[in-house]
Chains A and B, each alone.
Chain A
Amino acid sequence: MQERLKELQTEALEKISQTSDLKELNDIRVSYLGKKGPITEVLKGMGKLSAEERPKMGALANEVRDAIAAGIEEKQKHLEEAAVHEKLAAEKIDVTLPGRPVKTGNHHPLTRIIEEIEDLFIGMGYTVAEGPEVEKDYYNFEALNLPKDHPARDMQDSFYITEETLLRTQTSPVQARTMEKHDGKGPVKIICPGKVFRRDNDDATHSHQFMQIEGLVVGENIRMTDLKGTLEVFAKKLFGEDREIRMRPSFFPFTEPSVEVDVSCFKCGGKGCNICKKTGWIEILGSGMVHPNVLEMSGFDSKKYSGFAFGMGVERIAMLKYGVEDIRHFYTNDVRFLNNFQVHE
């Protein structure tokens, strides 16, 4: 009997090891461990054994049973793992194939520059002021110290609609309008972006429509050194920490003193290259201390208040910063051009 049990164990384990199929394995379980299985059959002959041998034989039978069960379990685990493996292997994909594209548009480069500048100045306590693109002659010129026969009006030939209204030639009228609203009380700290228009034939460097962004600060004791410090912060933010600025005296009817501002060349660092025309400096904006006539016309006491203003062409900044060679690109909206500005810096 003992031998028969051992034999069964060997035989079962042999079958288990040979099978590679979960169903067959189950059949083995049923055939060896089931109620009608050979072990049960063997144990039926226990009655013939002595009382001494009976428990021994019972224990042995259990051992055999456990061994077979363990064998099956192990095999089952093994087979299941293999099945999973096989399934996964069959599911393999080529991960180098392109992904399903997510459509992404992006900011127009001019908006990108404008928002960058807006955010910088918002951080310094400015608000963003906007105004109409069709302006009254008064706000576009007269309130900015450019009376009707002023020779500087030649500098910016304009698109008039009637004698008194025109497409604004600069965003400065927003400054005049904002100051007027402040009712002679400071401080005023604004940044004004917007479209402006001049009578120019469109070519690589001229556009009858372009964007400007201007800044204005009016308060008690605003000094020219404040203008310089502010523009330094601006130049470093937009063109890099190492940039320096240079102020050159100039003339604008609405500021006195007036300066033009150059930034040290961000390509060559000031050594001289084709971008800065060998000078090491690139002109980026015009600025100055607000002319007392402008302050007075907008209701500010020029004895008490002073201010500075600055303004720049957004296209010019974008062209310099991104190396764009033709201003018309900004308005044809070629997607191959627009796509250049996907990257978030």
Chain B
Amino acid sequence: MYVSYKWLQEYVDLSGVSPEELAEKITKSGIEVEGVETLNEGISGVVVGYVQEREQHPNADKLNKCLVDIGAEEPVQIICGAANVDKGQKVAVATVGAVLPGNFKIKKAKLRGEESHGMICSLQELGFESKLVAKEFAEGIYNFPQDTEVGLDALEQLHRDDQVLELGLTPNRADCLSMLGVAYEVAAILGKEVKFPVSEVETSSEKAADYIQVTVDAKEDNPLYVAKVIKNVKIGPSPLWMQARLTAAGIRPHNNVVDITNYILLEYGQPLHAFDYDRLDSKEILVRRAKDGEEIITLDDAKRKLTTDHLVITNGENPIALAGVMGGANSEVQADTTNVLLESAYFIGGPVRKASRDHGLRSEASARYEKGVDPNRVRAAAERAAQLLAEYADGEVLEGSVEADSLSVEPAVVSVTLEKINRVLGTDLNMKDVEDIFSRLQFETATDNGTIIVTVPTRRGDITIEEDLIEEVGRLFGYNNLASTLPIGSATPGHLTPYQNKRRMVRHYLEGAGLYQAVTYSLTNESKAAQYALEKREPVRLAMPMSEDRSVLRLSIIPQLLEVLKYNTARQNDSLAVYETGAVFLANGSDELPEEREHLAGAVTGLWHSHLWQGEKKPVDFFVVKGILEGLFEKLGISSAVEFRQSEKEGMHPGRTAEIYLSGTSVGFIGQTHPTVEKEYDLKETYAFELSLKAILEADVPPLQYVAIPRFPSITRDIALVVDKEKAAGELESIIKEAGGALLKEVQVFDLYEGERMEPGKKSIAFSLKYFDPDRTLTDEEVVKAHDIVLNAVKEKAGAVLRG
């Protein structure tokens, strides 16, 4: 809502309060003033001029040579390019020395050989927004009314010596969508009175009821409909002050009748509509729900197809307006209109909102109905409009109104105790303080033993419960006057859950290992959503996505991380390691929430390590990334339960991928991305992993217990085994561990040889075995015995031959 400071002064005494101070006070009390605009800012030296002569410029087809009286001793010659300039017009002249918006200074000039002493201005050149300039002046210079005195300040004549406060209204404060509403608010803040506009009008002897009959079928949607008839109006421009106020509020002037309805909408917050009475083709107004498939052409010349959700005004037969949203073209007030039917109605928000949404039509009227208008202003607004139509359109107001009224207006009565106010706010107010605040708001109060009973005016439909009253007290008392305290009461231990704690450790660990934490979007496209999913399940799809690329919820994080690597690689950072923890989404039944699982994923590309001057350069490989995960499992205490099994997975290198098992259940995978994928993302060799974070963080881990440092020496035996190339090291290790029994405490691979000295299809793999007993020194014999069992086991179970 844009509020003209000058206009507001008509309702509240603002003396001694500048627009900026007012803005500050309004903001502090509850409505954010988002800006204060000075309408004539940066403009000077523009006067009203009279075009005495106009002739074609001798050397230019599109220029006019004008002789303009600017109230000085001699008229001045001005060259003007506007097509609509003509002799006899009163115009806005930027004289030599004038300044226009953008610090544009007017100087004496010579245009194609002819002198020009100033510039005849359009409204746009005087700082008006194009969309607010009346249509007749939109393409050229502005014309003042003929009775405007030459030589006066043009911007004052246009009432632009004003400032406009832009109110950012929250949905509950629909009452401030009117100047009167703002006046009540400002009066409460300043402790002043509200002055009301007077609407007294002489009526003709004819009765409105003889001209129109009003029936409302849809009473629930339209509890009150007031119609007035104004005859013999003369369509023309509205007075400049009115146009100026509309413009300041962001509404474009049209003609006096339309402008008056808009003026009342701004003043009372009550939308009005003027029909051309003679175009109704009936003497009847019937308000009803539209029929399915019924059509109306609205004022913006668009054909709208209606349904029974929409409320329409009809002439008894056909729609003539989409109720509360926009009038119909068939009954529009035009230049030749003489008789006007004025509608002031109370429409319920629901159907208006529905129609507005369905047709993508938001109007000043619909915005107000959707949020609720004051039922007690419907009649007053109509009377005030009639008065202005008589005054500024020479209309003849017929006696009385024709109404369809099923509205019962009872102001809300809400009670609150002083104790509750102080308890919620933490204040120490007394009864008088509170009563004083309500009286500033012009709320009627009665008190009863510490309880304040408030009769809430209908204009404040937002106040329905005691908390609403507490807010009114709080905001007018001033939140900045509140003390600062901390909650008291029983102590609560603050902590992270074990899961949250471990998740933080996982992040710190991975970052310490060299991975950056990434945060990516949960929404992706159909093809990426399920790529790399741990479990193939239907993805969750948005009902109405904004784009294909953000239409489906991810089932895996890896594709998003590959995007991150791609983005960075394209920017000369082709060696990078990233990880992310976040949810993936697996669809359930239609109205069921999907299953959300928290995953941990990582992706590493390019060089893992490089220290060039020492000649070190190591691209990432499978074992770099596996090592990182092994360290993580160590930290989580689950490494002995984890197993990496060779596997194949779509989108991954078939020979370099492992599925990760925790206590026999698959919890994720690790591997090189398939070269075709690397090519698609323009990446170097890239390794990725994705794990169920929940599975690894919630695994059963025995409580931490200290194990004594061994006091006796251990004995190490190395063995080199020749096995088939396909034989997995992990398998040999398991066999060794199992056979080694209690004395074998550590097994480590220390060499792998697959070179030419081996028989084809064979490889040699060497293990170092460490035996010890925590309670005593082992004898050679004991070790030999245990070691022989190991050698037999690998021979029998894996066909291994001891390498000589």
* Complex: A256 Cα to B518 Cα, angstroms: 38
Instruction: Decide yes or no: A189 and B517 within 8 Å by CB, A134-B596, A335-B568, A335-B576 being known contacts.
Output: no
* B370: A residues at CB distance < 8 A: 151
Query: From residue A104, how far is it (CB to closest CB) to chain B in Å?
Result: 6
Tell me which of A161, A187, A201, A251 contacts B543 (CB under 8 A).
A161
Q: Is the CB of A256 within 8 A of B468?
A: yes
Q: Is the CB of A246 within 8 A of B475?
A: no
B475-519: which residues lie under 8 A (CB-CB) from chain A?
475, 479-480, 482-497, 500, 504, 507, 510-519
Q: Is the CB of B486 within 8 A of A226?
A: yes
Interface string of B41-64 (1 = CB under 8 A from A): 000000000000000000000000
* B579: A residues at CB distance < 8 A: 105
* Complex: A161 Cα to B592 Cα, angstroms: 10
* A75: B residues at CB distance < 8 A: none
Instruction: Decide yes or no: A226 and B487 within 8 Å by CB, A151-B370, A189-B494 being known contacts.
Output: yes
Chain A residue at smallest Cβ distance from B489 = A219
Q: Is the CB of A105 within 8 A of B514?
A: yes
Interface string of A227-250 (1 = CB under 8 A from B): 011101100000000000011111
- Interface status of B75 (Cβ within 8 A of chain A): no
Tell me which of A100, A161, A163, A292 contacts B611 (CB under 8 A).
A100
B572-594: which residues lie under 8 A (CB-CB) from chain A?
573, 576-579, 582-583, 585, 590-594
* A106: B residues at CB distance < 8 A: 511, 516-517
* Complex: A199 Cα to B596 Cα, angstroms: 21
- Interface status of B29 (Cβ within 8 A of chain A): yes
* Complex: A103 Cα to B621 Cα, angstroms: 16
* Complex: A121 Cα to B492 Cα, angstroms: 11
Interface stretch (choices A55-63, A77-85, A267-275, A326-334): A326-334
Instruction: Decide yes or no: A225 and B519 within 8 Å by CB, A160-B543, A257-B474, A292-B465 being known contacts.
Output: no
Q: Is the interface of A mostly helix, strand, loop or mixed?
A: mixed
- Interface status of B640 (Cβ within 8 A of chain A): no
* A256: B residues at CB distance < 8 A: 465, 467-468, 470-471
Q: Is the CB of B490 within 8 A of A107?
A: no
Chain A residue at smallest Cβ distance from B544 = A160
Instruction: Decide yes or no: A111 and B468 within 8 Å by CB, A159-B542, A228-B484, A332-B567 being known contacts.
Output: no
- Interface status of A125 (Cβ within 8 A of chain B): yes
Instruction: Decide yes or no: A228 and B568 within 8 Å by CB, A152-B171, A223-B423, A257-B467 being known contacts.
Output: no
Chain A residue at smallest Cβ distance from B367 = A151
Q: Is the CB of B496 within 8 A of A128?
A: yes
* A331: B residues at CB distance < 8 A: 519-521
Q: Is the CB of A151 within 8 A of B371?
A: yes
Please count how many residues in chain B sit with their CB below 8 Å of the partner chain's CB atoms: 96
* B523: A residues at CB distance < 8 A: 159, 167, 197, 208-209
Tell me which of A121, A223, A336 contacts B494 (CB under 8 A).
A121
Q: Is the CB of A333 within 8 A of B564?
A: yes
Q: Is the CB of A248 within 8 A of B471?
A: no
Tell me which of A151, A186, A248, A335 contacts B479 (CB under 8 A).
A248
B588-635: which residues lie under 8 A (CB-CB) from chain A?
590-594, 596, 608-611, 613-614, 616
* Complex: A236 Cα to B520 Cα, angstroms: 30
* Complex: A105 Cα to B491 Cα, angstroms: 38
Chain B residue at smallest Cβ distance from A154 = B171
Q: Which of A115, A135, A338 has the most CB of B within 10 A?
A: A338
* Complex: A335 Cα to B605 Cα, angstroms: 13
- Interface status of A258 (Cβ within 8 A of chain B): yes
- Interface status of B28 (Cβ within 8 A of chain A): yes
- Interface status of A50 (Cβ within 8 A of chain B): no
- Interface status of B349 (Cβ within 8 A of chain A): yes
* B307: A residues at CB distance < 8 A: none
Instruction: Decide yes or no: A164 and B591 within 8 Å by CB, A108-B517, A257-B471 being known contacts.
Output: yes
Interface string of A161-201 (1 = CB under 8 A from B): 11111010000000000000000001101000001010101
Instruction: Decide yes or no: A292 and B514 within 8 Å by CB, A135-B593, A228-B484 being known contacts.
Output: no
Q: Is the CB of A111 within 8 A of B494?
A: no
* B510: A residues at CB distance < 8 A: 105
- Interface status of A124 (Cβ within 8 A of chain B): yes
* B593: A residues at CB distance < 8 A: 132, 134-136, 165
Q: A197-B522, A223-B485 are in contact. List 20 more A-B contacts (CB 8 A).
A: A97-B613, A100-B611, A101-B609, A103-B609, A127-B497, A134-B540, A151-B171, A151-B371, A161-B543, A165-B592, A187-B490, A223-B425, A225-B482, A225-B483, A232-B484, A257-B475, A292-B467, A332-B567, A333-B516, A339-B516
Binding site for B on A (CB under 8 A): 97-98, 100-108, 110-111, 115, 118, 121-128, 132-136, 149, 151-152, 154-155, 159-165, 167, 186-187, 189, 195, 197, 199, 201, 208-209, 211, 217, 219-226, 228-230, 232-233, 246-251, 256-260, 289, 291-292, 306, 330-336, 338-339
15 A-B residue pairs with Cβ-Cβ distance under 8 Å, sorted by A, are A97-B613, A108-B519, A122-B494, A125-B492, A128-B500, A133-B583, A155-B171, A162-B591, A197-B523, A201-B546, A224-B482, A229-B483, A248-B479, A291-B467, A292-B467
Binding site for A on B (CB under 8 A): 27-32, 170-173, 349-350, 353, 370-371, 423-427, 465, 467-468, 470-471, 474-475, 479-480, 482-497, 500, 504, 507, 510-523, 540-546, 550, 553, 564, 567-568, 571, 573, 576-579, 582-583, 585, 590-594, 596, 608-611, 613-614, 616
Closest 7 pairs between A and B when the two form their complex, measured CB to CB: A103-B514, A225-B426, A251-B170, A223-B426, A249-B30, A257-B471, A229-B484
